[in-house]
Amino acid sequence: MATIEEILELEQLERDIFRGQAHESYLQRTFGGQVAAQALVSATRTVSPEFHVHSLHGYFLRPGIPDRPAVYLVERLRDGRSFVTRRITGIQNGEAIFSMSASFHIGNEGIEHQDTMPTVPPADSIPDPLEDPDLPKTGVVREWENFDIRRIPNEEFVTDPLLASQQRVWFRYRHTLPDDNVFHVCTLAYMSDMTLLGSAKAAHPGVDVQEASLDHAMWFMRPFRADEWLLYDQTSPFAGSGRALTQGRIFDTTGRLVAAVTQEASPVPADPVPPLRQDDRR
């Protein structure tokens, strides 16, 4: 499968127009994290390096087609002394499939506090899905074979009785990434869409649904490395009316809160026909 370096390598067509290439996929729709990450790469290409992204808010408007490239149009909404704002539209076949706003900031001194990282078993104590012969090698596992994703069993962490549905996941990119903070941020934007809807499904074991993301928002607090273990502490405070709200806090192994995510999705009944590989659809 494509490496994250290949996924995030965009071609600049014009001053504010970029193209992300198509890559082989086991999924029927383009992975939402890929679209969000490529849109963020496009935005960062139009911002001075002293500005760092602190938030993004995106809407998935139409399903992406995995075997076709996407074009990203960047609008320069604001270039201020402390904040820069960009709006990005992802397009396939002449139609918008994704819309995102991203805000960049030059950091200032101010008050500081953060949540405490939950107590969980270390990532290395949980079997690697690619190496454990008892774990199925599903299309999703093979789609993300370059990512090490280890869901913590419910019996191995203390759940909060006041929360409706929750799960915790360790994840990281398996291979060493460049020493570029922007690259790690864009990689985490890709990773943040992984497993998050699972926090809504955790309260409904045995119910088979397909994931259809509606929107996605992220906030970035501190520098981190996406090729080192990160804990994704996920909750779903509500599901109903065909939608599920999910939230996540991302910590590094030292307990620093590095990012936060909120996403609404539409967990629809699973398609009885299994997803096809790109080559099988032709």
58-85 pLDDT, tens digit each: 999 999 999 999 999 999 999 999 999 9
pLDDT number for residue 162: 93
How far is it, in rounded angstroms, from Cα 169 to Cα 114? 20
Q: Is residue 193 among the annotated active site residues?
A: yes
22, 1 in Cβ contact below 8 A?
Answer: no
* pLDDT at site 136: 64
Confidence at residue 270, expressed as pLDDT on a 0 to 100 scale: 57
Cα gap 102→76, rounded to integer Å: 10
Counting runs of H as helices and runs of E as strands, what totals does the chain give?
Answer: 6, 14
Specify the pLDDT at position 66.
Answer: 93
Residue 213: active-site member: yes
Provide the pLDDT for residue 209: 78
Q: What pLDDT sits at residue 279?
A: 41
Q: What is the pLDDT of residues 130-179, one digit of tens each?
A: 887 766 666 667 889 999 999 999 899 988 899 999 999 999 999 999 99
Query: What pLDDT does residue 276 have?
Result: 41
Residue 262: pLDDT band by 50, 70, 90 thresholds? Answer: very high
Nearest to 195 by CA among 213, 217, 215: 213
pLDDT of residue 106 exceeding 50, the answer is yes
What's the mean pLDDT when you consider all of the chain?
91
- Catalytic pick among 38, 92, 193, 233: 193
82 is catalytic: no
Q: Which of 34, 199, 213, 236 is catalytic?
A: 213
Task: Judge whether 22 and 34 are in contact, CB under 8 Å.
Answer: no
* Dist. CA 235–CA 118, nearest whole Å: 13
Tokens of 14: 């014009």
pLDDT of residue 277: 42
pLDDT at residue number 280: 39
Regarding predicted confidence, which is higher, 273 or 177?
A: 177
Distance CA 162, CA 166 (A): 10
pLDDT 10s digits, 210-236: 778 999 999 999 999 999 999 999 999
Ordered structural domains, the chain, with CATH? 4-107+124-281 (2.40.160.210)
Q: What is the pLDDT of residue 282?
A: 33
